[in-house]
Chain A
Amino acid sequence: MTTRIRGRAMTNPIPKPPSGGNGRLLPPDAGRDRPLFVVAAILVFLACIAGLGARGAWLQAQRWTTDLETSLTIQVRPAEGRDAEADADRAAALTRAMPGVEQATSRGRDHALALLTPWLGEGNLPDDLPLPLLVDVRTRSGVTIDTAALQAQLDAEGMAARIDDHGRWANAVRRAAGTAQALGLGLLALLAGAAAAVIAFAARASLAARLDVIDALHLCGAEDRFIAGLFQRRFFMLGLKAGVAGAVFAGLVSLLVSLGDAPADMAFFLPQWASDPFEFVLLACAPVLAGLTAAISARLAVASDLRGRW
C-alpha cells in the first residue's frame, strides 16, 4: 500500500525511520534461559571430567602394563649342595646375554630378607633359612624375550630357577584399566545423552514460551527454515557459551588436580592434565558439540511445531 498511498493527507513531513540495525526477532531471554545455561554448563563440565578421567585411567593403565611387560623376574630356589648366590649371579649373566635384555641384576639374600620384613619382622629369621633369590630383568619395550630358551639354559646349568614374566598381572591390570576406561566412556556417553536431552527439553520449553513470535512470523509468511533458523542460532550460541564455561572449568579442575601432588595410584581416575593434544581437542570439541546439540534439538522442536500447523 505504501507506494500507492504516497502523498495522501500528509501535513507533517515524514519522520526519519529509526536508525540502527534490525530489532531482534526473538525476544531477549530475560533470564529465562539462565537455568538452562547453568545446567548445560554443569553437564558439559561433568562430561569433560569424565572424558579426562577415562583418559587418565587409560594413561595410568598403559604406564603400569608397560612397566610389567618390560620386566621379568627369575627366582632362584636354594638347592641342596648349591651356592644360591652364585647361581643367581650366573642366571643374571646368562640373561644379560639374551637379545632384548637391557639389564639383569641379581639381588642377594639381603634383598630377599628385606622383601620378607613387612610380613615377618626384622631379625626374626634364622641365618640359615633357605630363601629363594631374585634376579630383576629389564627388557627393551616391544621385545619379547624367548623365556623358553632362557629356561632351558638355566635348567642346563642345573639350577632350580623359575622365570616369571608377570603375564598374569599384566593381564589383570589391562582388564582393570579396560573396565575403568569403559566406565569413563560410558559415563561420558551418559552425560552427553543427558545434556542433549536437557537441552532438547529446554529448547521445547523456550519454544512454547515464544509461540506468539512463531505465530506472528508464520502468519506473516515466514518460511519454516527462517523461523527454525532463528531458534537454531539462539540455541547454538547458548550451547556454545555453556560449553565453553563447562570446558574451561573442567580444564582448570584437572590442572589443579595435576598440580596438587596426589599419589599416582590415587590419581587413577582423577582427571590429569597431561598437556597432550587430547585434552585440548576434548575441551575444544565439548562446547562445539554442546552448541550443535542445542541447535539441532531446537531445530527439530521448531520443525515439529511448524509441521503441526499448516
Chain B
Amino acid sequence: MDPEPVIRFDNVGMRYGRGPEILRDLSFDLPRGSFQFLTGPSGAGKTSLLRLIYLAAKPSRGLISYFGRDAATLPRNELPDLRRRVGVVFQEFRLLGHMNVFDNVALPLRVAGRKRADYAEDVAELLTWVGLGDKMNALPATLSGGEQQRVAIARAVVGQPEVLIADEPTGNVDPEMGMRLLRLFAELNKLGTTIIIATHDLQLVRMLDAPVMTLSNGHLHIRPPRSERLRMQEAAEAEAEADRIAAAPAAAAPRSSVDPQASDDDTDPGQSDD
C-alpha cells in the first residue's frame, strides 16, 4: 500500500456551530488509487464527510491531511491548489446556468489560469468522450438530467484530479446510464484516480469489489471488499481446520467454527447499526 494516503482522517469530529457533533471519531486513510463507496442513511453525515474531503469545510477537531499536508497548518492561499487536485460531482450538479456546456466544463482550467487556446481541444475531446460533443454550445437548462450529470462529471475530471468524489452520481439517471457512469469511474480509477462514490444504490455497490464506508450516527464503519472478506474467511476456516486437525487426537473437541464474518452477506449497509 502506498505509504502516503492521498487523504488521511485521524479522530476527526465535526459540528456546525454549537450544534451536536455530526461526525465523530473518524479515522481512515484513502490510499492513492483506491476506489470506495460511501453509504449510510440520510442524515448520517455523508454530505458533511464529503465536504470535509473536498475541502469545503473544516473539521471541528482531529487531524486531516490532504496529500501529506496537515489541514490545520495549511495557509489559506494554498487551499485553492489542493482543491484543484480534488474533483467533485455534486448530487445536484451545480452547473452554472448562464454558461454553455463547454464553458462549464472548462471552468476548473480557467480558474487555474490556463489559456483557452491550450485547453479548448482537450475539453472538446472530453465532451465527445462523454457523448456531448454536439452539445458544447447548449445551456445546461436545455439538457436532460443524464446529460447534465455527464457535464458535471466532465467538469470534475477535466483538471485531471487525483481524487474524484461523486455524490449520488446515479441518483438522477436510469439504471443503464448508472452502469455506464460506474464503468466510467472504474476506468478513471484504473488510470490512477482515487475515487469515492457516495450512494444509496446497493445494486451499484454490489457491482464492484470495493470497500464500503458506512456512516451511521456520525460513526464510520469500513467493510473491506468482498474478495478480501472471502480471503479472510478462508484464512479463518483454514486456521480452524488446522486447529481441528491438531486437536483431533483429543477427539472429543466440539466443532469450533469461530467465523468473524459468519453473518456477512451483502447486508444493507444503510441498516447497519454500528
Contact = CB atoms under 8 A, between A and B. Distances in A.
Do A and B make up one complex? Answer: yes
Interface of A: 1-6, 8-10, 12, 14-18, 21-25, 27-28, 212-213, 215-224, 226, 309-310
B129 A310 contact: no
B128 A24 contact: no
A218 B191 CA distance: 26
B107 interface: yes
Given A23-B100, A217-B107, A220-B108, A1 B126 contact: yes
B175 interface: no
Contact of A27 (B82, B97, B107, B158): B97
Given A15-B136, A23-B100, A226-B111, A2 B126 contact: yes
Contacts of A216: 94-96, 107
B245 to A, nearest CB: 51
A156 B111 CA distance: 92
A220 B84 contact: yes
B210 interface: no
A1 B157 contact: yes
A17 B120 contact: yes
Interface in B80-96: 80-84, 88, 94-96
Nearest to A213: B96
Nearest to B122: A2
A218 B84 CA distance: 10
B96 A17 contact: no
B98 interface: yes
B128 A17 contact: no
Contact of A17 (B54, B121, B159): B121
A59 B103 CA distance: 57
Contacts of B159: 220-221
B99 interface: yes
Given A14-B128, A212-B96, A217 B121 contact: no
B191 A1 contact: yes
Given A1-B160, A2-B125, A221 B77 contact: no
A212 B95 CA distance: 9
Contacts of B97: 27
A280 to B, nearest CB: 39
Given A2-B160, A27-B98, 4 more contacts: A12-B128, A22-B103, A226-B111, A310-B79
Interface string B6-18: 0000000000000
Interface residues of B, number: 51
B80 A221 contact: yes
A243 B238 CA distance: 84
B129 to A, nearest CB: 6
B122 A310 contact: no
A10 B128 contact: yes
Interface of B is mostly: helix
A23 B126 contact: no
Contacts of B62: none
A14 B125 contact: yes
Given A217-B107, A309-B56, A5 B100 contact: no
Contacts of A1: 126, 157-158, 160, 188, 191, 193
10 nearest A-B residue pairs (beta carbon): A221-B84, A27-B98, A222-B111, A23-B103, A2-B122, A221-B83, A17-B120, A17-B124, A221-B80, A220-B108
Interface in B137-167: 137, 155, 157-160
Contacts of B95: 216
Interface centre among A3, A15, A221, A224, by most chain B C-beta atoms within 10 angstroms, is A221
Nearest to A30: B98
B55 interface: yes
20 contacts: A1-B193, A2-B122, A8-B129, A9-B129, A10-B125, A14-B121, A14-B133, A15-B124, A17-B121, A18-B136, A28-B98, A212-B94, A212-B96, A216-B95, A218-B83, A219-B56, A220-B159, A221-B112, A221-B159, A223-B77
A20 to B, nearest CB: 10
Interface string B186-225: 0110010100000000000000000000000000000000
A222 to B, nearest CB: 4
B230 interface: no
A17 B123 CA distance: 8
B57 A18 contact: no
B61 interface: no
Given A5-B129, A15-B134, A217-B111, A310 B77 contact: no
Contact of B56 (A3, A24, A310): A310
A222 B159 CA distance: 13
A222 B80 contact: yes
Contact of A10 (B77, B121, B129, B160): B129
Contacts of A6: 125
